Structures are given as C-alpha cells and as structure tokens.
Amino acid sequence: MEVKLRIVGCSPAWPNPGGAQSGYLVESHGARVLLDCGPGVLARLREWEDWPRVDAIAITHWHLDHWGDLIPWVWGAMFGPARELDTPELWVPPAGRQLLSEIESRLGRPKMFEEAFRVAEYEPGETFTSAGMEITAVRVLHYELEAYGFRVAANGSVLAYSGDSGPHEGLAELARDADLFLCEATLADGTEEREGSPRGHLSPREASGAFETSGAKRLLLTHRPTERGLDGGYEQVRDGQELDV
Ligand SMILES: [Zn+2]
C-alpha cells in the first residue's frame, strides 16, 4: 500500500478565503500522522469523519497557524466525541511540554494537553517512530523562533515537509532524495523580509533552489497567500487535495 498525503489546510499565517491553516495528514498501512494542526484543520477533518482518527500529531513550531486547533481538540477529548477514542500521540519541539504547561495555566485548565494527548518532545535531527512511520525533525530557519521541518519515511517512501523556513541548508538535508518535498513558498520574491534580520519564509524560486540541491523527485509548494498568485512551472497544493507520496 502506498503512502497517502491529504492536504487538510495549506493557508499561510493569515487564512486564504475559505481555507484552513497548516495541516497535512499522512497515511500508511491504515496508520495516520497529522503534521501540524492549525486553525480550521479540525473542522475540515470533521467534514470527513465524526472525529478525526489519528495516531499522532506532530508540530513543527509554535506559531499559531501550525498548532492552534490543538486547543479545541482538547475540548473534544474532554467533553466531545473524542472521549470515546484512543488518545493520540502529540510530538512537540524541544521544551514544548513547558510551553504547553504555561498555556494550560493561562487557560485555567492544568494538564489539559496531557489528558487529551500522549505528549512527547522530539530531539533535533533524531528519528522517532510514530504510527509505524520514521520521522526526523530537521532544524530550519524561521526568524528568531526554533522551528523544524519533518522528514517522514514510511513503506519505502519519503515525504519531506518544510514547516515554515527561510533559505537554510537544513531544507536540502530535510528533503535529500525524498519522493515528495512539500515546501512553503509564502513570499513573492524574498525582498519582503527585513534586511539584517533572520529570514522566515521562502519565495517560489528559493523553494525551488532548495529542492534542486536536495535531489528530491517532486516539489509541491504550500503556505502561499492566494493574493500572491504563482506563475507557471510550479505545482501548488490546495485544501482537500489527496496525493500519493
Ligand atoms: Zn506558518
């Protein structure tokens, strides 16, 4: 059986019209891992089944468009349909448990994430196994924030997902010889970002440069505002799309 990728949502930091923010569902041998869980992702998943059956969720970084729907997911686990389901793993960046506990105390509900998920922190560059998939978190460049991309190996196929990143050597390492490189391309040409500060995003041309260095087989662009358009020669994902990796 192949590895399937469903684009749940592919909006950038502000949503595209009618769109969900970052959420990418990977399925292999009936096991499912959701890469990122931004606002709109849970509602979209619930259009397909009463409550999403996922074995694990993995978060690339703590900008809200990549994890915001974990909070309504918790309420569904405590008071809604997810009460009846197995508890998914939740893989977060290093020191993520501490961050979650600070959010819990602000929300007045200590341990809410630990009740809804089996929370674990991944280590930079170290492969962990989840739902039968081998996942490696590779450090990328996202302003001053600690951020990762995921390399997911399953059933002989490799998917690389950039998360959010500016130009960085980690991207080519992440996508080395991958079957599919799902790479962000938020910017028009890169000149939008402030000079003298760390970069945070890529233009299509920069994404394509990382892809060519990596030797990956196919490039798909994501996390792109609709108003920026995209000229010919690039493939861009859309919400709801299903692909073979
Ligand atoms: Zn983002």
Between the CA of 164 and the centroid of ligand 1 the distance, in Å, is 5
CATH number at residue 41: 3.60.15.10
**Cα–Cα distance, 196 to 102 (Å, whole number):** 32
Share of residues in the chain with pLDDT > 70 (%)? 100
pLDDT in tens, 161-198: 999 999 999 999 999 999 999 999 999 998 999 888 99
Considering only the C-alpha atoms of the chain, give the largest distance between any 2 of them, rounded to a whole number of Å.
Answer: 51
pLDDT at 211 over 60: yes
Please calculate the CA angle 127-133-139 and round it to the nearest 5 degrees: 35
Between the CA of 62 and the centroid of ligand 1 the distance, in Å, is 9
Name the 3-class secondary structure at 99: helix
pLDDT at 231 over 90: no
Residue 135, beta-bridge partner list: 128, 152
Per-residue pLDDT averaged across 7-11, rounded?
98
Average predicted confidence (pLDDT) for the chain:
97
- Please tell me the total count of domains within the chain: 1
pLDDT in tens, 39-84: 999 999 999 999 999 999 999 999 999 999 999 999 999 999 999 9
Between the CA of 145 and the centroid of ligand 1 the distance, in Å, is 12
Beta strands in the chain (DSSP E): 4-9, 23-28, 31-35, 56-58, 89-92, 118-121, 127-130, 133-142, 145-154, 157-161, 180-184, 219-222, 242-244
Domain ranges, residue 13: 4-244
Length of the chain measured in residues: 245
Between the CA of 129 and the centroid of ligand 1 the distance, in Å, is 25
Between the CA of 30 and the centroid of ligand 1 the distance, in Å, is 28
**Cα–Cα distance, 219 to 21 (Å, whole number):** 20
Between the CA of 41 and the centroid of ligand 1 the distance, in Å, is 13
Query: For the whole model, what pTM was predicted?
Result: 0.98
Please calculate the CA angle 220-226-232 and round it to the nearest 5 degrees: 50
Q: Within 10 Å of residue 198's Cβ, how many Cβ atoms?
A: 13
